Amino acid sequence: MKEEAVISVSHLYKRFGHFTANDDLCFEVGRGEIFGFLGANGAGKTTAMRILCGLSKPTSGDVKVAGFDVYTQTDHIKRNIGYMSQRFSLYEDLTVLENIRLYGGIYGLSRQKIREKSAQLLSRLEMEHMQNSLIKSLPLGWRQKLAFSVAIVHDPPIVFLDEPTGGVDPLTRRQFWNMIYEAAHRGITIFVTTHYMDEAEYCDRISIMVDGQIAAIGTPADLKASYGVSSINEVFIILARGRQAVTE
């Protein structure tokens, strides 16, 4: 772990009736770290992520995000994080510029700041000529790159990315990871979920959730070494389905 923790989770439990969705989660994420949050469908990732974003409260346990408490300081958390998902991120019936202004406003930036940031962002993405195009007219790859830039328009300490590259072509997927690397290099902490196991290899550290618990956590290299396999995909399958599954 690098420097101080910007996410710290200690004995997090979340129960829905008799069902335990998050079962004693303990982990920390450091500043500027790229943290891959992996797990099978239904393992409890979304539940944990909602708690970290201040959208849902734990049943018990201590959780701090950007130094703020998830029980009492959710408004502070929301102002200090960015969020992007594959399913929903930009408003399709608004233009590129309108989306940037909308999100800038939601994140509480001043008009002056929004103007500066819009110009900066459009030029970095080389999208000036598209600023008045509706989002729905843009190819998916462009939308996803724009969505990521909008999610960090307020320079948050942390950004949460929920399957940001699903269905995107292989080249755009890599351009997207370039942007992630760059943001992490600037000190933004990246918390990302993905079903592409090759992307797990790009993370500084990953955790793998199985049935509500963190079954493994560490650097990709350490996890592969300790399970004696050559890819994160194999580690994932061993944990989620048992060791015999790999040799089938």
Q: Tell me the closest approach of the beta carbon of residue 21 to another protein, in angstroms.
A: 12
Among 24, 28, 198, 211, binds another protein (CB under 8 A): 198
Region 32-71 residues binding another protein, contact defined as CB under 8 A:
39-42
- Under the binding rule (CB under 8 A), the answer on residue 17 touching another protein is no
| Half-sphere CA count of 74, side-chain side, radius 13 A | 12
Q: Is 145 exposed, middle or buried (0-12, 13-18, 19+ CB in 10 A)?
A: buried
Q: Is 189 exposed, middle or buried (0-12, 13-18, 19+ CB in 10 A)?
A: buried
Among 19, 72, 112, 185, binds another protein (CB under 8 A): 185
Of the pair 146, 237, the CB lying nearest another protein is at 237
Region 151-170 residues binding another protein, contact defined as CB under 8 A:
163, 166-170
- Under the binding rule (CB under 8 A), the answer on residue 229 touching another protein is no
- Under the binding rule (CB under 8 A), the answer on residue 186 touching another protein is no
Of the pair 67, 218, the CB lying nearest another protein is at 218
- Under the binding rule (CB under 8 A), the answer on residue 83 touching another protein is no
Region 117-146 residues binding another protein, contact defined as CB under 8 A:
139-141
Of the pair 66, 138, the CB lying nearest another protein is at 138
Q: How far apart are CA 45 and CA 35, in angstroms?
A: 13
- Under the binding rule (CB under 8 A), the answer on residue 82 touching another protein is no
By residue count, the chain amounts to: 248
Among 54, 191, 220, 223, binds another protein (CB under 8 A): 220
C-beta separation of 76 from 152 below 8 A: no
Burial readout 57-92 (b: 16 or more C-beta within 10 A, e: otherwise): ebeebebbbbebebeebbeebbebbbbbbbeebbee
Q: How far apart are CA 6 and CA 3, in angstroms?
A: 9
Q: How far apart are CA 109 and CA 120, in angstroms?
A: 14
Name the token pair of 238: 């061993």
Of the pair 98, 201, the CB lying nearest another protein is at 201
- Under the binding rule (CB under 8 A), the answer on residue 174 touching another protein is yes
Cα dihedral sign, 90-34-215-49: negative
Name the nearest CA neighbour of 210 among 16, 51, 37, 40. Answer: 40
Of the pair 23, 201, the CB lying nearest another protein is at 201
- Under the binding rule (CB under 8 A), the answer on residue 72 touching another protein is no
Of the pair 171, 244, the CB lying nearest another protein is at 171
Of the pair 26, 221, the CB lying nearest another protein is at 221
Q: Which positions touch another protein (CB under 8 A)?
A: 39-42, 139-141, 163, 166-172, 174-175, 177-179, 181, 184-185, 195-202, 220-221, 231-233, 236-237, 240-241, 245
